[in-house]
Amino acid sequence: MIIIKLDSLLKSKGISQRELARKTGIRHPTISEMCLNTSRSLPIDNLNKICIELDCDLSDIIEYKKEPLE
């Protein structure tokens, strides 16, 4: 399972979703979906913009957790 940790990262840096959207040019609804962990896709260019703006690594934004096979 892929977990998007953008919401907690923004909170720790004191930056709002709207501010991140404005600074990166990424649509606010897209950032909101990422914060709610409901995104169906994560374009690499968006992840790159976020890493640059928040001065962070990709692992600060997304995490992989193994799930048991059914």
Per-domain residue ranges for the chain? 2-64
The CATH superfamily label for domain 2-64 reads lambda repressor-like DNA-binding domains (1.10.260.40)
pLDDT digit string (tens) for 4-20? 999 999 999 999 999 99
pTM value > 0.85: yes
Distance CA 70, CA 65 (A): 15
Region 45-70: mean pLDDT is: 93
Q: Beta partners for 3?
A: 63
